[in-house]
Structure 1
Amino acid sequence: METFETIVNQDDFPCLFGKKAVNALSTELLFVGKEKGVADLIAGLSSYVQKVRSWSLKYRIGKPLIVLFEKNDFGTLELEQLYAWDLLQQLHDQDPGPWPEEIPADLNSEHWTFSFLGMPLFINMSFPQHSVMKSRNLGSHIVFVINPRENFDQVAAGNSVSGQRIRDRIRSRSEAYNQGIKSQTLGVFGERGSLEIKQYQLEEPGALSHERCPFRMNIK
């Protein structure tokens, strides 16, 4: 956790909301063990979703869930990403809640987003082997930063001037932090051609390709 906080607290770290939450000590933490990976993930995310439902929208904006994975014996970025997607798939397959009626089941829809226990979420995946997309490297372990999708609609809505300004600022900082490299898959939720799932994991040489989606919908 110390390495994660050190990285996020760097002056040039791009995510301003993440920096603010870490400095305020307001993040929620979840540690996922090697042996009970998906069980830990289900229990921890279930607890988080239940708490989020009791919080005001203003309060929850400063309360992202930071998921730290114990397993870190991967040799490549692709293997790290395969492991992360496999756990996310298991989380979806074992979701005890209903899929939200307002979220399409089509991964190719610009309105699709991952959901658990009926709550739409955004999953930011960060990996130790990222060397080009350094903004997605938060230390020596895989890290998920999970926020309710509604948080982004509140602070950076795609159709608002203020939302555009905030996104532009953060993405400009990301490009600078990544030494001028700009991700080609970051988009705006709801815009035609912008797929949310491609924003969870970013690409670089050696990464898992977005050409074949590693996730499948399984709605019972």
Structure 2
Amino acid sequence: MTKLFTKSEVRESFPNSSWQGILFAEFEATLTSKSRPFPCVFGVTGQKADQLRYAFLDPLTPETVAPVLKDYLANARDFGRMTSMVIFGRPGPVQAIESYRARFWDLLDGLARLDEADRPDGFSEHLDSDRWEFCFAGEPIFVVCNTPAHVLRQSRRSTSFMITFQPRWVFDGITDSDDPAMLRALTEVRRRLADFDALDPAPFLGSFGAEGNREFQQYFLGDTNETPTCPFHALGAVRTDERKEEKGKVA
């Protein structure tokens, strides 16, 4: 099975000149920059506390991601309050941003088809719902995609196709909190976004469960603020239909 690395293990395992070493150095420099603070203060906190975990996949496909993601989710609560898993694909020729968007959604759809667990209660199967979130191995997960095609939205740029998986519980007490400290932190995220990117923050950024919010719109942000449309009605539709048929046979 592909190994999950801490930041020190990445440095020990890959030469600086390897594609893994180059991508990680770029990622770490972006998150730790003092002259150009990265917008996600929670991700920065997780990186500094060594609560993030990293994987390097070639190829980066549903079949290679699924076992790594399952392993990560089984141990994520032991990694820390601000944990996320960052998966880097091997760099290749830069494609059009819409090609990366299609690849991203095909990846999540493929993962949903491979998932053996039922969706958690309270989470809709349909993307066009304020109760939808990507789920795998019984865990709701917020997913972020970075690509080499992002130019104006630098907060979503990476030298390679890069996916970040954040368990939904990481946001508990943050996006749904009235605590002044949390509210100040969220305000700081928005302020940093405005300084970091060459266009205004996406107007459809919101919180899970809020009326009218659509989580899928926030997963893959383009280089414009045009509101994304649903690429799928539901993910893993074939797998979902098979489960329903099996339950019907059992009943």
Task: Please classify the TM superposition score into its range, dividing by the shorter chain length.
Answer: 0.7 to 0.9
Q: Which has the higher contact order (CA 8 A, sep 6+)?
A: 1
For 1:98 and 1:208, locate their aligned partners in 2 and report how far apart those are by CA, in whole Å: 33
Q: How does 1:125-204 map to 2 (within 5 A)?
A: 125-137=145-157, 139-154=158-173, 156-162=174-180, 163-179=182-198, 181-204=200-223
2:128–2:233: 8 Å Cα contact kept in structure 1?
A: no
Indicate if the aligned counterparts of 2:146 and 2:163 stay in contact, CA closer than 8 A: yes
Matches within 5 A, 1:1-220: 1-11=24-34, 12-34=37-59, 37-52=61-76, 55=78, 60-70=80-90, 72-137=92-157, 139-154=158-173, 156-162=174-180, 163-179=182-198, 181-205=200-224, 210-214=228-232, 216-217=234-235, 218=237, 219=240, 220=243
Any conservation in 1 of the 2:126–2:234 contact (CA below 8 Å)? no
Gaps of 5+ in 2: 1-23, 244-251
Q: Provide the rounded CA distance (Å) in 1 between the counterparts of 2:233 and 2:33.
A: 33
**TM superposition score normalised by structure 1:** 0.87
- Give the letter aligned to residue 144 of structure 1: I
Alpha-carbon offset, residue 161 of structure 1: 3.9
Deviation at 1:102, TM superposition (A): 2.0
Q: 2:30 is aligned with what amino acid?
A: I
CA displacement, residues 190-213 of structure 1 (integer Å, 9 cap, x when unaligned): 1111101101111224x9971242
- Give the count of matched residue pairs: 212
Q: CA distance change for structure 1 residues 153 and 69 in 2, over 3 Å: closer, same or farther?
A: same
The 1:203/1:20 distance shift into structure 2, 3 A limit, reads same
Structure 1, unaligned stretches of length 5 or more? none
Q: Which amino acid aligns with 1:22?
A: Q
What TM-score, normalized to structure 2?
0.77
Instruction: Quote how far apart the aligned CAs of 1:185 are.
Output: 2.1
Q: Name the SS of the counterpart of 2:172 in structure 1.
A: helix
User: In the aligned structure 1, how far is the partner of 2:71 from the partner of 2:185?
Assistant: 30
